[in-house]
Amino acid sequence: MTPQDLKNVMGSGLLSFPITDFDANGDFDAKSYAARLEWLAPFGASALFAAGGTGEYFSLTAGEYPAIIRTAVDTCRGKVPIIAGAGGPTRFAIECAQAAEKAGAHGILLMPHYMTEASQEGLAAHVEAVCKSVDFGVIIYNRGVSRYTPETVARLCERNPNLVGFKDGVGDIEGMASMFLAMGDRLAYLGGLPTAEVYAAAYKALGTPVYSSAVFNFIPRTAMRFYEAVKNDDQATQHQLLKDFFMPYLKIRNRSAGYAVSIIKAGARIVGHPAGPVRPPLADLQPDEVEMLAALIRKVEQA
């Protein structure tokens, strides 16, 4: 897939980030992961991000990463494109990006580097080194310590034709509007804040209607229904689902830092597609929180 094809895919519909399956010992479980992707692939996401944020990229080892991407590519071949997460230190991000390209992924999402603050020059050097290390398309992820100004992104785009996408996980309306108005259709844009549905209508109004859904992992039909409602400006359906599901869901998610990912694994377990525990530093939901989530899922799935 060319970088331009990746950009077109990114602009064409709902995207999602599958969770990564671990067994009882906490090791990657390829069989369970493949079964998950087989289950999710037909629901209509336009691409799936393997080993992304919700896929606990930040907790994976260099040794297990290639197998995760290979499993995703092999399982989804001919069904749905796979974009691989990559990130952390520049050299590690390059190793992952090249392993993903070798495994047949269709592009990468370049997630934040590790820990330290960085200048715009430093960020640009990091992104450029990764872009130049591969031929396929690169999407940068605006989040945490990796926050890009439109000037930095414009410079990067001039020098790196394979930089084709910008995913936002910050939620700064001024920043997103500035980026979109400066870069226009040079990039594809993805709303990717934790629980992106809550921001979807506002991002659409800005001119960036595509987002990624983490809840797609356990309520894929409802996630697609919400996406269609956003696409068609069907506010009644959006508001109903926000009231019935997403707002009470946020109350559970907000009980602990890191629950944006843990709650997705809990949801998958509830609907009969368990992926094992989250890895530290994340923590799994408490039993009463799982009960609350199960009640919410019942409500929305019966509708």
28 versus 249: smaller Cβ distance to ligand GLR: 249
227 forms part of the interface with ligand GLR (CB under 6 A)? no
* Token pair of 105 as six digits: 């992924």
| Cα(34)–Cα(150) distance, integer angstroms | 38
Count of H-run helices and E-run strands, the chain: 13, 8
Angle at 138 between CA 135 and CA 142, to 5 degrees: 160
Determine the distance from the C-alpha atom of residue 189 to the mean position of all C-alpha atoms in its chain, rounded to a whole number. Answer: 12
Q: How far apart are CA 106 and CA 195, in angstroms?
A: 24
> Does residue 54 touch ligand GLR according to CB under 6 A?
yes
Residue 52 within binding range of ligand GLR, rule CB under 6 A: yes
Shortest Å, Cβ 46 to ligand GLR: 13
List CB contacts of 96: < 8 A, sequence separation 6 or more. 62, 65, 84, 85, 86, 87, 88, 108
Measured distance CA(263)–CA(194) in Å, rounded: 11
Residue nearest to ligand GLR (CB): 53
Question: Considering the complex, what minimum distance in angstroms separates the CB of residue 45 from ligand GLR?
Answer: 10
88 lies in the binding site for ligand GLR (CB under 6 A): no
Active site annotation includes 167 = yes
Distance of closest approach, residue 159 Cβ to ligand GLR, in angstroms = 26
Nearer CB in complex with ligand GLR: 132/243: 243
Query: Is-cis flag, bond preceding 161, omega within 30?
Result: no
107 counts as binding ligand GLR under rule CB under 6 A: no
| Residues facing 142 on adjacent strands | 168
Structure tokens at 195: 């629980």
Determine the distance from the C-alpha atom of residue 156 to the mean position of all C-alpha atoms in its chain, rounded to a whole number: 22
Two tokens, residue 230: 């956003």
Shortest Cβ distance from residue 16 to ligand GLR (Å)? 6
For position 60 contacting ligand GLR by CB under 6 A, the verdict is: no
Residue 54 among known ligand-binding residues: yes
Residue from 19, 50, 84, 196 in contact with ligand GLR (CB under 6 A): 196
Structure tokens at 180: 């979109």
Is 192 a binding residue for ligand GLR by CB under 6 A? The answer is yes
Cβ 121 to ligand GLR shortest distance, Å: 25
d(CA 104, CA 107): 9
Residue list 248-277, contact with ligand GLR (CB under 6 A)? 260
Per CB under 6 A, the segment of 18-26, 46-54, 98-106, 173-181 that binds ligand GLR is 46-54
Q: Does 208 bind ligand GLR (CB under 6 A)?
A: no
169 makes contact with ligand GLR (CB under 6 A): yes
Half-sphere exposure of 23 (CA within 13 A, CB side): 7
Q: Which stretch binds ligand GLR (CB under 6 A): 26-34, 51-59, 146-154, 295-303?
A: 51-59
- SS3 label, residue 53: coil
**What are the distances in angstroms from CA 155 to CA 48, 50, 122?**
28, 28, 13
Cβ closer to ligand GLR: 94 or 261?
Answer: 261
Catalytic residue among 33, 141, 227, 259: 141
Q: Which of 194, 220, 267, 276 binds ligand GLR (CB under 6 A)?
A: 194
Known binding-site positions for pyruvate? 54
Binding site for ligand GLR (CB under 6 A): 17, 52-54, 169, 192, 194-196, 212-214, 260
- Residues annotated as part of the active site: 141, 167
